[in-house]
Amino acid sequence: MVAKPLVPPAGPEPVMRVTAVTKRYGERTVLDVERLDVLKGEVLALMGPSGSGKTTLLRILATLETPTTGQVSLDGAAWGPPNGAAGPVSPARLLAWRRRVTYVGQNPVLFSGTVFDNVNLPLAIRCRVGPGARAAVEEMLERVGLAALAAARTASLSAGEAQRVALARALVSRPDVLLLDEPTANLDPANVAVIEKTLIEAVEMWRPAVVLVTHNLFQARRLGRRTGLIVGGRLIELGETEAVFSYPQDARTASFVKGEMVF
Ligand SMILES: Nc1ncnc2c1ncn2[C@@H]1O[C@H](COP(=O)(O)OP(=O)(O)OP(=O)(O)O)[C@@H](O)[C@H]1O
Ligand SMILES: [Mg+2]
Q: Which amino acid is at 172?
A: V
For atom 13 of ligand 1, the residue with the nearest CA is 51
Q: How far is it, in rounded angstroms, from Cα 251 to Cα 236?
A: 10
Out of 23, 52, 229, mutate this one to test ligand 1's pocket (max ligand atoms within 8 Å of CB): namely 52
Out of 27, 29, 56, mutate this one to test ligand 1's pocket (max ligand atoms within 8 Å of CB): namely 56
Decide the pairing of beta strands 209-213 and 226-231.
unpaired
Looking at the DSSP bridge assignments, the partners of residue 44 are: 211, 226
Phi and psi at 68, nearest 5°, equal -75, -40
For 174, counting Cβ atoms within 10 Å of its Cβ (0-12 exposed, 13-18 middle, 19+ buried), the class is middle
Q: Where are the domains of the chain?
A: 14-107+172-257
Q: What is the pLDDT of residue 62?
A: 96
For atom 28 of ligand 1, the residue with the nearest CA is 51
Q: What is the pLDDT of residue 92?
A: 86
Q: How far is it, in rounded angstroms, from Cα 244 to Cα 123?
A: 38
For atom 17 of ligand 1, the residue with the nearest CA is 55
Q: Alpha helix locations (H) across 112-263?
A: 115-125, 131-143, 159-171, 189-206, 217-223, 241-246, 251-257
Looking at all shown ligands, the one closest to residue 229's CA atom is 1
Q: Which amino acid is at 199?
A: L
Q: What is the pLDDT of residue 156?
A: 94
User: Who surrounds ion ligand 2 at CB < 5 A?
Assistant: 55
Looking at the DSSP bridge assignments, the partners of residue 153 are: 114
For atom 22 of ligand 1, the residue with the nearest CA is 55
Homologous superfamily of 14-107+172-257? P-loop containing nucleotide triphosphate hydrolases (3.40.50.300)
Q: What is the pLDDT of residue 262?
A: 57
Distances (CA, A) of 244 to 39, 63, 81, 207: 17, 29, 32, 23
Residue numbers of the chain with a pLDDT score lower than 70: 1-12, 261-263
User: Which tens digits make up the pLDDT trace of 63-112?
Assistant: 999 999 999 999 989 999 999 999 998 888 888 898 999 999 988 899 99
3-class secondary structure per residue, 129-167 = CCHHHHHHHHHHHHHCCCHHHCCCEHHHCCHHHHHHHHH
